[in-house]
Amino acid sequence: MEKEVDQMTSRADAVSASLDGLRKAQAAQGLSLRGDMAAAEERMQNNLSKAQSAVQAQNAAQAKHYLDLAEPDVEKLEKFLGH
């Protein structure tokens, strides 16, 4: 489970880095990131944080639960970014 959480965290980090670049580019034009994408990123980060905490607590079932919650948001953001 720890390996799966690490892999998802790496994907999430890449997504967040791309979103940061997009935010900066849009801010330069007076725009902002779509609200649904910002919300998806926040959910993704919160669920991954909970999954990592569950791994630390050696609770595999809870880690999988939060990983399963994070995955759709990671995939949604990757698709939005064209990854």
pLDDT in tens, the chain (83 residues): 999 999 999 999 999 999 999 999 999 999 999 999 999 999 999 999 999 999 999 999 999 999 999 999 999 999 999 98
* Residue 70 CB contacts under 8 Å (≥ 6 apart), including other chains: 8, 12, 43, 44, 47, 48, 51
Domain that holds residue 76: 2-81
Please check whether residue 8 is in contact with residue 48, taking contact to mean a CB–CB distance below 8 angstroms: yes
Q: What is the CATH number of the domain that holds 30?
A: 1.20.1270
pTM over 0.85: yes
Count of domains observed in the chain:
1
pLDDT at 83: 86
